[in-house]
Amino acid sequence: MITATAKLRMYRQMLLIRRLEERVAEMYGEQAIGGFTHLYIGQEAVATGAISALNHDDYVIGTYRDHGHFLAREGDPKKFMAELFGRETGICHGKGGSMHLADMENYFFGGTGIVGGSMPIAAGLGLACSYREDDRIVMSFFGDGATNQGVWHEALNFAKIWNLPVIFVCENNFYGIGTDVRLSSSLTEVYKKASGYGMPGYRVNGMDVLEVRKLCDDVVKHVRAGSGPALIEARCYRYQGHSMTDPGRYRARAEEDLWRKRDPIPRLARTLLEEGIASEERLQELDAEIEEICDAAVEFAQESPMPSPSALYDHVFSERYPSDPHA
């Protein structure tokens, strides 16, 4: 049973991701943000629903498309925007940028740019949980394209043979950059790949945050109880291009329109109204609140200093030696 407060919180969360990313797009246009920037717009229900089923000290790891997960993990919008601006006050002091957000305080391990690369690391986080017998679990987010990468296979096999508490969440948005999943994957129903590892596989509508949450509440319970790893396929759609530079000619207009009708945010808004959880006014207030948060984030980023040149050699190692460069 998902409480009214929980629903309202999820709505706010999705809206925050959406609005903040709209600002990111705007700022990218103004060249305040550079590099590769991958928007999550359209997929907000997945990170929001899934992560809301976790405890604060569970481990989460994702990919370069990490804005939504960082924010769903309650990452600070100011440090988020400052990072994308490459400022000293960014969550990674400007070293990571959009693709490499990470947040130690919220147990978010990033933010990795190598497709599939985070998979064995996720299993390793699970290994730590099982090694210490704490009752933490791990949630690992990745795309449909990542499931064809070798380390994906290794990670699922490891997780299963060692019975690690890891939930693998595949955000199947049907494309890896411009490549249709049907061209890249021998099983296009990704959740069925779990059968290759004797692992339970589930499919959920990734455009419905409540369904995502319901399934994850269940799976989290089992995995935390020691039932071993599980694979979830959340079918969803990214509304923008793969990255800011993608014209996105490879998708049919009709397909895009169809999925836009399934926008998870208005959908939940309708539910909130129908169930009397929130009034039109309350939702408008929320809009306003979030606008303020976005303004504040952008302002904070703009006013923050660039990293000092001396920061270049910081963090290569945590322990220095005389012969290190500029030690």
Ligand X SMILES: Cc1ncc(C[n+]2csc(CCOP(=O)(O)OP(=O)(O)O)c2C)c(N)n1
173 binds, among its own copies, Mg ion, other proteins, none (CB under 5 to 8 A by kind): Mg ion
Q: Which of 65/87 has CB closer to ligand X?
A: 65
How many residues line the site for its own copies (CB under 8 A)? Answer: 23
φ, ψ of residue 269 to 5 degrees: the values are -55, -45
185 forms part of the interface with its own copies (CB under 8 A)? yes
Query: Which one of 149, 205, 243, 271 is in contact with its own copies (CB under 8 A)?
Result: 149
Q: Which of 21/76 has CB closer to ligand X?
A: 21
Q: Which residues bind Mg ion (CB under 5 A)?
A: 143-144, 173, 176
Burial class (CB in 10 A: 0-12, 13-18, 19+), 233: buried
Q: In what order do the strands lie in the sheet with 59-63?
A: 108-112, 59-63, 138-143, 166-172, 230-235, 201-205
Which of 84, 129, 89 has its CA nearest to residue 107?
A: 129
- Token digits for 279? 């009034």
59 binds, among other proteins, its own copies, Mg ion, none (CB under 5 to 8 A by kind): other proteins
Cα dihedral across residues 60, 63, 69, 75: positive or negative: positive
31 forms part of the interface with its own copies (CB under 8 A)? no
Cα dihedral across residues 257, 261, 263, 265: positive or negative: positive
Interface positions, 35-94, toward ligand X (CB under 6 A) = 65
Query: Which one of 114, 183, 296, 327 is in contact with ligand X (CB under 6 A)?
Result: 114
Q: Which residue has the tokens 């396929």?
A: 233
Least distance in angstroms from the C-beta of 176 to Mg ion: 5
Which residues, at least 6 apart from 189, have a Cβ–Cβ distance to it below 8 Å?
203, 233
Q: Which of 75/145 has CB closer to ligand X?
A: 145
Single-letter code of the amino acid located at 23: R
Which stretch in 144-152, 222-230, 271-279, 282-290 sits in contact with other proteins by CB under 8 A? 144-152
Note whether 16 and 266 are within 8 A (CB): no
| DSSP one-letter code for 306 | P
Least distance in angstroms from the C-beta of 248 to Mg ion: 13
Which stretch in 69-77, 148-156, 286-294, 301-309 sits in contact with its own copies by CB under 8 A? 148-156
Query: Which one of 143, 165, 201, 229 is in contact with ligand X (CB under 6 A)?
Result: 143
**What x-and-dash track marks residues 105-124 binding other proteins by CB under 8 A?**
----xxxxxxxxx-xxxxxx
